[in-house]
Amino acid sequence: MVSSNPFASLCLSSLLLTLVLCVNGVSTSSHNDTKIGEGYRLVSIAETHDGGLVGFLQVNQKTSIYGSDISLLRFYAKHETNDRLRVHITDANKQRWEVPYNLLPREQPPALAQTIGRSRKNKDPITVSEYSGSELLFTYTSDPFSFKVKRKSNGETLFDTSSDASDPFSSLVFKDQYLEISTKLPKDASLYGLGENTQPHGIKLYPSDPYTLYTTDISAINLNADLYGSHPVYMDLRNAGGKASAHAVLLLNSNGMDVFYKGTSLTYKIIGGVFDFYFFSGPSPLNVVDQYTQLIGRPAPMPYWAFGFHQCRWGYHNLSVIEDVVDSYKKAQIPLDVIWNDDDHMDGKKDFTLNQGNYPRPKLLKFLEKIHSIGMKYIVINDPGIAVNTSYGVYQRGLANDVFIKYDGEPFLAQVWPGAVNFPDFLNPKTVSWWVDEIRRFHELVPIDGLWIDMNEVSNFCSGKCKIPEGKQCPTGTGPGWICCLDCKNITKTRWDDPPYKINASGIQAPIGFKTIATSAVHYNGVLEYDAHSLFGFAESIATHKGLLGIEGKRPFILSRSTFVGSGKYVAHWTGDNQGTWENLRYSISTMLNFGIFGVPMVGSDICGFYPQPTEELCNRWIEVGAFYPFSRDHANYYSPRQELYQWESVAESSRNALGIRYRILPYLYTLNYEAHVSGAPIARPLFFSFPTYTECYGLSTQFLLGSSLMISPVLEQGKTEVKALFPPGSWYSLLDLTSAITSKDGIYITLDAPLHVVNVHLYQNTILPMQQGGLISKDARMTPFSLVITFPEGATDGEAKGNLFLDEDELPEMTLGNGYSTYVDFHATVKQGTVKVWSEVQEGKFALDKGWYIESVSVLGLDGRGALSSLEIDGKPLSGVSDVKVSVSEHVHLDGHEKGEKKTVMVALKGLNISIGKNFAVNWKMG
């Protein structure tokens, strides 16, 4: 749902300009190159009982810019695993705000009280020293204090806080409300991450673009601005002499920050908290995400149906509209698994309520019974603002349990869709219990299948300290609902509301309390909103996950707009309020790929754009991209014309084609879901994940991979019926025509035909792709026969291919093997001296056997085409002449400039196999 006038957000800068002019303090730009502090010197160093290092840092000389420096700091370094190093720097004398350890569980550094006694020992520390782990090396210099993190295997410096004349920057700065630290970078480093923002230049971080991290409700159409989530992590990919290595750096801090990337250096400027750095050694991009999610939490397992297609719209005014949408999708033969409601189902836009006039409960229950019986699902929205209304049970129970964020001892008053609201304090255990109970109560009223938690940055239509106006209705019930109608006054009396350093909030240095909770408001245990602001959506996600998990013991599905480090353990994400423009279609790919790096692999953008109405051509092309988002949903604004996929016949045709592919590869997507859950591996990936040494793809943001091997090359420009696509070295096969092949030794650009209803999808060599026959609902598609597509390098005389398949009872909370309700299959294939072998290794086969799943066909691509196929055996038995198995051989067509007379390559297809997936099998034959 949009939270402000969608068209006005384009003019956000001008709307806020007058506010910015009134803000006191020094701007981010004016002191960008000014020396803010004089640095620190190391005054003591010692080993800790847990194998770490602890040292104390004395300020060299205090300065007054942005406040006074903290005199004594404690730094703590520890190799927490073989591939993870932590460096933690804080005030040595008192506890400072950190991301709560109960929200994001991790090791705690030694208590200050245990180490402060050592602060004055060892007056003459070693000038340079080393602290070595398995793969990372930590070194420090004492005065001014700086540190480096190196990779031991190749000697690369990954992080270096020492300044020099070539790229001068401030030494370490640590004040109460201003922290600064920088690192040098090599010019050829490719950086990714630091979100959430809409990056116009693609997935690679772009020098001099602003990167501000602070959860903010402004439309995703705003470029280079802090959006709904905060992820202060980046991946650094380097290539030295043809050898690639990746690492990542996380600064675990929830306070607002600006990050300045110059190309040869990166500087953090943060308005609170501590320096809590984690370094992940990689060396491959997949290793990095594995190590990162090992710390922050593995991505949540998603139910199978969540990989089906979803339809939503703000403005489904009554139940009959929803019923018509479902019927129309079926009539148009377009797959649909999930129907959504924005706030239209609510009574007066109040959470956990039902509008009995437009959505009468008996009729709604009957509708849900009907769609549930065929495997479809129903999800509704939920906003955190709880309407201030004495006749509203949710509010009454919240008030009785004291669950709301406070200001001046009273629940902080704000305005969102229902009018005056209070916001739950999800840092309070009592709030979590109340929220879980409200979810349970609502589920008894309406048996929903998931929750969509929106507006949780948190969004507020007003700013400052407000009260409900006397003698006028608020909201009026007419006109836009996002106009503030409370009586409000600015809050600037504290340093929390008006900090000395102004981050580039909303892209224009907006006050940090603008259109959100006042930053001097107070959470449970006295925690300030100033510190906890960016954690709101994350904390709400955890509470919502707990609530849904407790209802029926099913695997929760939650979609959250605001995210933080670790959110992927609980929720999926969509990229917020986008526009129906070609630019926004392109941006959606970069944002999706970023969230895979952030450990939130279940991600997608509003297909066809949230507003305004897309053109028919754009909607065709958007579904051809959106069909391959991990989370695939069409969603439109209240004020936009209808844009369901069946509204245009041309879009319906493109949808049948693109979603037809999606529903056939659902077994592959679901297996990627399992891989994400056990190792963090993104579902949608940049090409460099599979081709880290191929520098040509480092900045590629117009194509992407699903898993390691399936490449999507969509049309992203108006009027185009072909697409120039990059094919990294090796052999690629079109999923639309398995006989169509592209092979290159060093990588190649190919211009592909792409008529309006066609999206190009290619499968890489050495892969075994499990597919099914598709359907209109994932429940039905799931029970169709399987096929295996096996790819070898073209004409390979010695090749090996692999694939895997995870199957389970997809609504059980745990996604794991060994529970009696799951099966895992490794598929293998080799070609050697003319003999082709295909076989499987099955773990926990009973579940698949009980379901009756079987493989109907196997297609092997890229085989040397000389001679005929012979000696076909299945499980050691020769193929009988009366068998139902049909064998066909088809020659490949080459799109990469192969000359006539070059060696012929073929596809061999076996059909009618009827091989059980739950048992090991082996198929082999000879070529020629």
What are the pLDDT digits (tens) for 495-504? 999 999 999 9
Confidence at residue 163, expressed as pLDDT on a 0 to 100 scale: 87
Identify the band that residue 315 occupies on the pLDDT scale cut at 50, 70 and 90: very high
- Considering the chain, what percentage of its residues have pLDDT values greater than 90? 87
Position 405 pLDDT exceeds 50: yes
Residues 6+ apart with CB under 8 A from 479: none
Confidence at residue 119, expressed as pLDDT on a 0 to 100 scale: 43
Locus of tokens 């698949």: 848
Q: Name which of 818, 807, 811 is nearest 850 in CA terms.
A: 807
Confidence at residue 511, expressed as pLDDT on a 0 to 100 scale: 94
**Residues designated as active site:** 454, 457, 577
Average pLDDT over residues 867-896: 86
Which tokens hold the place of 882? 């009366």
Confidence at residue 120, expressed as pLDDT on a 0 to 100 scale: 44
Would you say 869 and 890 are in contact if contact means Cβ atoms under 8 Å apart? no
| Integer Cα distance of 510 and 265 in angstroms | 26
> What does each C-alpha distance from 349 to 445, 466, 670, 781 come to in angstroms?
16, 20, 35, 36
Confidence at residue 902, expressed as pLDDT on a 0 to 100 scale: 66
Identify the band that residue 890 occupies on the pLDDT scale cut at 50, 70 and 90: very high
Confidence at residue 83, expressed as pLDDT on a 0 to 100 scale: 98
| Integer Cα distance of 470 and 13 in angstroms | 32
Identify the band that residue 122 occupies on the pLDDT scale cut at 50, 70 and 90: very low
Least reliable range by pLDDT among 3-7, 109-113, 227-231, 584-588: 3-7
CATH fold for the domain made of 686-927: Immunoglobulin-like (2.60.40)
Identify the band that residue 882 occupies on the pLDDT scale cut at 50, 70 and 90: low
Confidence at residue 492, expressed as pLDDT on a 0 to 100 scale: 80
List the Cα angle 880/883/889 in 5-degree steps: 90
For 640-653, how does the pLDDT look when each residue is reduced to its tens digit (9 = 90+)? Answer: 899 999 999 999 99
Would you say 851 and 807 are in contact if contact means Cβ atoms under 8 Å apart? yes
Please enumerate, as own/partner, the contacts of 202-207 that have beta carbons within 8 Å and a separation of 24 or more: 202/590, 202/699, 202/700, 202/701, 203/589, 203/590, 203/593, 203/594, 203/686, 203/699, 203/700, 203/701, 204/698, 204/699, 204/701, 205/234, 205/261, 206/261, 207/261, 207/262, 207/263
158 versus 117: which is more confidently predicted? 158
For 83-105, how does the pLDDT look when each residue is reduced to its tens digit (9 = 90+)? Answer: 999 999 999 999 999 999 999 99
| Integer Cα distance of 758 and 760 in angstroms | 7
* Stated pTM of the model: 0.95
Position 118 pLDDT exceeds 60: no
Would you say 696 and 190 are in contact if contact means Cβ atoms under 8 Å apart? no
| Integer Cα distance of 874 and 919 in angstroms | 13
Position 724 pLDDT exceeds 60: yes
Average pLDDT over residues 701-713: 98
Least reliable range by pLDDT among 22-31, 84-93, 871-880, 909-918: 22-31
For 748-790, how does the pLDDT look when each residue is reduced to its tens digit (9 = 90+)? Answer: 999 999 999 999 999 999 999 999 999 999 999 999 999 999 9
Residue length of the chain? 928
Would you say 167 and 264 are in contact if contact means Cβ atoms under 8 Å apart? yes
Confidence at residue 128, expressed as pLDDT on a 0 to 100 scale: 57
Confidence at residue 117, expressed as pLDDT on a 0 to 100 scale: 54
For 430-439, how does the pLDDT look when each residue is reduced to its tens digit (9 = 90+)? Answer: 999 999 999 9
Which tokens hold the place of 402? 């004291």
Would you say 256 and 243 are in contact if contact means Cβ atoms under 8 Å apart? no
| Integer Cα distance of 638 and 628 in angstroms | 26
Provide the β-strand partners of residue 231.
Answer: 195
Confidence at residue 4, expressed as pLDDT on a 0 to 100 scale: 46
Average pLDDT over residues 384-404: 97
Strands (E) located in 346-484: 377-382, 386-387, 406-407, 410-411, 414-416, 419-422, 450-453, 465-467
164 versus 425: which is more confidently predicted? 425
Average pLDDT over residues 177-197: 97
* Homologous superfamily (CATH) for 304-673: Glycosidases (3.20.20.80)
Q: Name which of 110, 39, 117 is nearest 76 in CA terms.
A: 110
Residue 591: in which H helix or E strand, if any? helix 582-597
Mean pLDDT, the chain, rounded, equals 93
34 versus 913: which is more confidently predicted? 913
- Considering the chain, what percentage of its residues have pLDDT values greater than 70? 94
Which tokens hold the place of 399? 């008030």
| Integer Cα distance of 875 and 873 in angstroms | 6
Confidence at residue 639, expressed as pLDDT on a 0 to 100 scale: 84
Would you say 676 and 683 are in contact if contact means Cβ atoms under 8 Å apart? yes
| Integer Cα distance of 778 and 775 in angstroms | 7
The alpha carbons of the chain give a radius of gyration, in whole angstroms, of 29
Helix (H, G, I), strand (E, B) or coil at 461: coil
Domain boundaries, the chain: 39-287, 304-673, 686-927
List the Cα angle 569/815/843 in 5-degree steps: 145
| Integer Cα distance of 75 and 97 in angstroms | 15
Residues 6+ apart with CB under 8 A from 662: 307, 309, 335, 627, 628, 632, 669
Identify the band that residue 34 occupies on the pLDDT scale cut at 50, 70 and 90: low
DSSP conformation class of 634: E
Position 199 pLDDT exceeds 60: yes
Helix (H, G, I), strand (E, B) or coil at 142: strand
Position 123 pLDDT exceeds 50: no
For 201-226, how does the pLDDT look when each residue is reduced to its tens digit (9 = 90+)? Answer: 999 999 999 999 999 999 999 999 99
For 574-619, how does the pLDDT look when each residue is reduced to its tens digit (9 = 90+)? Answer: 999 999 999 999 999 999 999 999 999 999 999 999 998 899 999 9
Confidence at residue 606, expressed as pLDDT on a 0 to 100 scale: 98
Confidence at residue 5, expressed as pLDDT on a 0 to 100 scale: 40
Query: Are 39-287 and 686-927 equal in CATH topology?
Result: yes
Which tokens hold the place of 643? 């844009």
Q: Name which of 403, 383, 392 is nearest 461 in CA terms.
A: 383
| Integer Cα distance of 613 and 6 in angstroms | 12
Position 180 pLDDT exceeds 60: yes
Position 875 pLDDT exceeds 80: yes
Least reliable range by pLDDT among 34-43, 287-296, 580-589: 34-43
Confidence at residue 396, expressed as pLDDT on a 0 to 100 scale: 98
| Integer Cα distance of 543 and 555 in angstroms | 15
Would you say 499 and 25 are in contact if contact means Cβ atoms under 8 Å apart? yes
Cα 859 to chain centroid, rounded: 34
> What does each C-alpha distance from 419 to 331, 384, 416, 536 come to in angstroms?
40, 13, 5, 20
Identify the band that residue 253 occupies on the pLDDT scale cut at 50, 70 and 90: very high
Position 493 pLDDT exceeds 90: no
Would you say 886 and 858 are in contact if contact means Cβ atoms under 8 Å apart? no
Position 31 pLDDT exceeds 60: no
- State residue 592 phi and psi, 5-degree precision: -60, -45
Q: Domain spanning 39-287 has what CATH number? A: 2.60.40.1760
